[in-house]
Structure 1
Amino acid sequence: MAAYEWLLLPAAGSAMLCLLLVPLGYQVIARGVIFADLAIAQWAALGTLAGLYFLPKHTLAGAPVSSLIFALLAAVAVHLIFRRLADAKEAWIGILYVIGASLAVLLVSGDPHGAQALHRAASGDLLWASWPLVLAVATLAALVWLLAWWCPGWMSGAVFMPVFAVAVTYSVSLAGIYVVFATLIMTPLVLGTLVGKGSFLSSCCAIAGHLAAIGVSVAFDVPVGPAIVVATLAMTLFWFIVLRGFASQNLRALGAESGGSQ
């Protein structure tokens, strides 16, 4: 058992990541800015890569300062797009994303280990999470849930985008772009939009998918990031089927009761 104690940190990181991102995902979907989060995540990853070359020792609670700066700049750009270019917002957000991705490729093109750096930015490596990053994500998750309790309307205000950019920065540093997007969107979209369930159940579903993927990654020596994406989708679809089945049973039971009372 002691041989697997090292998994406690990535497991805790996964749980905190889900608790942070899933509630934000509900607001992202409600605002119709689904691909804006991908663009911000890409710019956060670009900032991480830039930090490797220009600010290698400048970090804040485990995340590169450059990543935070780039993510906040992308959040400002997204805000301006929605205020002034709303008619073609998806096109402009797509441009923002592809520029960030292209700059990342150009930045590492002269580095023999550039491909590895790009892969890590996209897929992450949650198995080697660090305590400062996990604690930072846990702090942000607690802040998001406390704000939802004390001030439920905060997500619809102007403060949402800066908080979201900071959350994405630390999440990308911990797990990579793919995992962040999957965690942010999958369970809120399926269990929230299609079934009408709240953040807590969706967070639990996402955590189950993450933990299952970590187990699969360790057992079969496969990359943990793509495993989390696939496992989270599988877990989400499983609970979608289960919840729809329960809903159908309840409807049939209500129909039978109303028919019997007549």
Structure 2
Amino acid sequence: MAEYEWLLLPAAGSAMLCLLLVPLGYQVIARGVIFADLAIAQWAALGTLAGLYFLPNHTLAGAPVSSLMFALLASLAVHLIFRRLAEAKEAWIGILYVVGASLAVLLVSGDPHGAQALHRAASGDLLWANWPLVLAVATLTVLVWLLGWCRPAWMTGAAFLPVFAVAVTYSVSLAGIYVVFATLIMTPLILGTLAGKAPFLAACCAVAGHLAAIGLSIAFDVPVGPAIVVMTLGIALLWYSVLCGFGARLSAAVLSD
């Protein structure tokens, strides 16, 4: 068993990541701007790449300072789009995303290892999580849940986007853009919107997907990021099918009585 102790850190990181992002995903879906999170995540990744070249070794609790700055800049842009360009908000958010992605490609175009840097920003590598990042994500998780219990109105207020940007920054640094988007959207969409379940159940489903993907990645030597995306979707659909089947049986039993 000792040879698998190193898996405790990525497993803990996965659990904290799901508990942090799933409740935020409910609000992203409720606002009807699902791709805003992808745009902010892309700019956080752009900030990470910029930090490699311009601000090396400048980190805050495990995440590059430049990543945090770029994510907050993107969240400000999203806020302005909501306020002033609401009629075409999806189009402008798409522009924000594609500009961020293009700047990232241009930034690393002269680096022989640029393709690897882009791949790492997109797919991440949760298996090599570090303690500062996991602890930062855990701290943000506690903050988000406390705010949800004590000040539920913050989710719909102006404070949401800055908190969201910080959460996405640390999440992207830990797991990459693909995993962040999948964790934010998949289980809240399938178990929340379709099945009407609370965030905690959806977060547990996401944790199950993450842990199954980590096992799959180790067993078959496949990249953990894409594995998490696929397994999270598969397990969310499985949970939804089970819940629907249970609901149907319960309804039939009530009607028969």
- Which TM-score band (shorter chain)? over 0.9
CA distance in 2, matches of 1:115, 1:4: 31
Map 1:148-163 → 2, pairs under 5 A:
148-163=148-163
Unpaired segments ≥5 residues, structure 2: none
CA distance in 1, matches of 2:68, 2:171: 11
| Ranges in structure 1 where 5+ consecutive residues have no aligned partner | 258-262
Q: Is structure 2 residue 203 aligned with structure 1 residue 203?
A: yes
**How far off its partner does 1:214 sit?**
0.3
Q: Write the mapping of 1:155-194 to structure 2, written as runs, cut at 5 A.
A: 155-194=155-194
Letter in 1 for 2:169: T
Instruction: Please tell me the residue identity of whatever aligns with 1:85.
Output: L
How many percent of aligned residue pairs carry the same amino acid? 83
Distance (Å, rounded) in 2 between the aligned partners of 1:147 and 1:89? 27
Paired with 2:21 and 2:32, the residues of 1 have a C-alpha distance of: 16
Deviation at 1:173, TM superposition (A): 0.2
| 2:89 alignment counterpart | 89
Instruction: After the TM superposition, list the runs of 4 or more consecutive aligned residues in structure 1 that deviate by more than 3 angstroms.
Output: none
CA distance in 1, matches of 2:126, 2:194: 29
- What is the correspondence of 1:1-262 to structure 2 with a 5 Å cutoff? 1-257=1-257
Query: TM-score, length-normalised on structure 2?
Result: 0.99
**How much has 1:253 moved relative to structure 2?**
1.3
Q: Whole-Å Cα distance in 2 between the matches of residues 178 and 57 of structure 1?
A: 25
Find the aligned partners of 1:242 and 1:192 in 2 and give their Cα distance: 14
Query: 2-side partners of 1:45 and 1:151: how far apart?
Result: 30
Instruction: Give the number of the structure whose alpha-carbon radius of gyration is greater.
Output: 1
Matched residues in 1 for 2:229 and 2:135: separation? 23
Query: Between Structure 1 and Structure 2, how many residues are aligned?
Result: 257
**Distance in 1 between the 2:165 and 2:81 partners?**
15
Alpha-carbon separation, structure 2, partners of 1:254 and 1:158: 45
2:192 counterpart letter in structure 1: G
Amino acid aligned to 1:233? L
Task: With the length of structure 1 as denominator, give the TM-score of the two structures.
Answer: 0.98
| Aligned-pair Cα RMSD in Å | 0.5
Residue 154 of structure 1: CA displacement? 1.3
Shift of 1:149: 1.1
Counterpart AA for 2:140: L
Q: CA deviation at 1:42?
A: 0.1
Measure how far apart 1:180 and its partner are: 0.1
